[in-house]
């Protein structure tokens, strides 16, 4: 067998941020596990706002960058948890980049009960 065996993945988000001198954040959202284009766009908007907020809080609001976002898992029930995970992953990727750490961050989407 030449292919990799199927491995079930939980819900989560991977993010990578590359800084640039021009202001503004470009989000590239992969469609891995998130089939609906509208949902991909809303995840990208959530991540973009979180990255802009992280840059502003670090006093680097004049910078911009490219945020690569990959969400896996999902479904209607996991939408809110994926949005929270996208925001956390974007903020962590931005702060890791500003510190000079590894720029690829993975965040597991957890479900919060009220």
Percent of the chain topping pLDDT 90: 25
Integer Cα distance of 9 and 109 in angstroms: 11
Contact 51, 69 (CB under 8 A): no
Dump pLDDT digits (tens) for 50-72: 999 999 999 998 999 999 988 87
C-alpha to C-alpha distances, 37 to 1, 33, 41, nearest whole angstrom: 34, 11, 6
Which residues lie below 8 Å from residue 88, measured CB to CB, with a gap of 6+?
A: 13, 50, 107
Going along the chain, which residue ranges are E strands? 12-20, 24-30, 64-72, 104-108
Distance between CA atoms of residues 105 and 81, nearest Å: 17
Could you tell me which residue, 48 or 10, shows the higher pLDDT?
Answer: 48
In 3D, which of 9, 10, 17, 7 has the Cα closest to residue 105?
A: 17
* Tokens found for residue 19: 């800084």
Model confidence over 28-38: pLDDT tens digits? 887 555 566 66
Domain positions in the chain: 12-106
pLDDT of residue 85: 87
pTM beyond 0.85, yes or no: no
Q: Give Cα 16 to chain centroid, integer Å.
A: 7
Q: Yes or no: say if 46 and 15 are a contact pair by the CB < 8 Å rule.
A: no
């Amino acid at each position: 067998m030449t292919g990799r065996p199927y491995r079930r993945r939980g819900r989560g988000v991977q993010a990578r941020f590359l800084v640039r001198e021009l202001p503004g954040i470009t989000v590239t959202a992969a469609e891995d596990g998130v089939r609906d284009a509208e949902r991909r766009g809303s995840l990208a908007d959530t991540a973009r706002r979180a990255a802009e907020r992280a840059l502003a809080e670090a006093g680097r609001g004049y910078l911009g960058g490219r945020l690569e976002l990959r969400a896996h898992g999902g479904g209607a029930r996991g939408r809110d948890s994926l949005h929270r995970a996208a925001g956390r992953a974007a903020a962590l990727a931005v702060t890791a980049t500003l510190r000079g750490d590894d720029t690829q961050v993975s965040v597991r989407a957890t479900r919060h009960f009220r």
